[in-house]
Chain A
């Protein structure tokens, strides 16, 4: 069982470029989340999805978009990357009836 996978592991991106971070889970969890982790700020929620077909905004959604076409996949898109989006991005999921979130290994993104 893989759990949650994220791709790419790391990426260096020029400012202004479009980028999609991929997240896939094989646990059939209903809820999925995207966080960014920055030094001194902990984890901040970007977007979430309670179930396939629905999404919601978290604490820091500006500059990011998500989609949830099916249960397993929850891609995060940066339409036009800016240096302030340099961060480590974590995807997570949780089952509807349970409360524990399970995290992917993260994507380290650098925007120059």
Chain B
């Protein structure tokens, strides 16, 4: 069965410090992996995705994520956090059966402290 785990409900980081939001997955076949961000009272916004190719994926707002096949992880990273990065972050994996179904993690709330 496909699954996604975000082990941290909340991550606190000081402004200017690097941030990491963790995600691990379990999927049959090659994974399609995604990160989305949700600001208060808004829908989810796409940040980045991994389909194939380079394991380091760069996305919007200076975020990047590293695909690690051996550890089945796809952690989200940013070298220098901004207060405006404070939001809810979701990792998602695409179902490999071709039905376009996504499985979302439970979300990690990132709080960047000034």
Contact = CB atoms under 8 A, between A and B. Distances in A.
Contacts of A90: 43-44
A43 B90 contact: yes
A94 interface: yes
Q: DSSP majority for the A interface?
A: strand
Contacts, number: 56
Contacts of A83: none
Contacts of B102: 33, 45, 101
Contacts of A33: 100-102
A50 B51 CA distance: 20
Contacts of B99: 48, 50, 56
Given A48-B100, A48-B101, A100-B49, A42 B43 contact: no
Contact of B43 (A48, A94, A99, A104): A104
Interface of B: 32, 34, 36, 41-46, 49, 51, 90, 92, 94, 99-107
6 contacts: A45-B102, A56-B99, A92-B44, A101-B102, A106-B42, A106-B43
> 3 smallest A-B Cβ distances: which pairs?
A103-B43, A42-B106, A43-B104
